[in-house]
Amino acid sequence: MPVGGRGRRSLWVLAGDGEADLMTLSDGDGGEALPVFGFEEEARMYLQLLGKRGEWKVREAEVGELARLLRGPYAGVGRVALDPVPAGVNSSGPLDVAWPSREGFLGSFRAPSHD
């Protein structure tokens, strides 16, 4: 079933030891953002560039699971960082990526209403 017009239901996140232990980033405004990747390879490269491959792992997360996490244990995370690039890696920093709000990100996966 296509989601968001992209034909895939899974995204990739960076996980620690537990199922719900996910890496978050500073959003630059004193809040947190959840890094989410469209492809496993992008997530792996991100960890490699950070030098954190032994500390964190890449794991697949379906949209429904992300919705539960962002409305549950990660409800305090205000933004989602889509395919972020580590600061200083051939970029001007974290603002080079899309940072939709948590609800804006989740809303992009809702089915359109047919009035």
Lowest-confidence region among 6-10, 48-52, 82-86, 104-108 = 6-10
Token pair 């496993």 in the structure block, residue:
40
Summarize pLDDT for 14-34 with one digit per residue, the tens.
999 876 799 999 888 888 999
Looking at the structure, give the CATH architecture of the domain made up of residues 10-104: 3-Layer(aba) Sandwich (3.40)
Summarize pLDDT for 33-84 with one digit per residue, the tens.
999 999 999 999 999 988 887 889 999 999 889 999 999 999 999 999 999 8
What pTM, to 2 d.p., does this model score? Answer: 0.75
Asked if residue 6 has pLDDT above 80, the reply is no
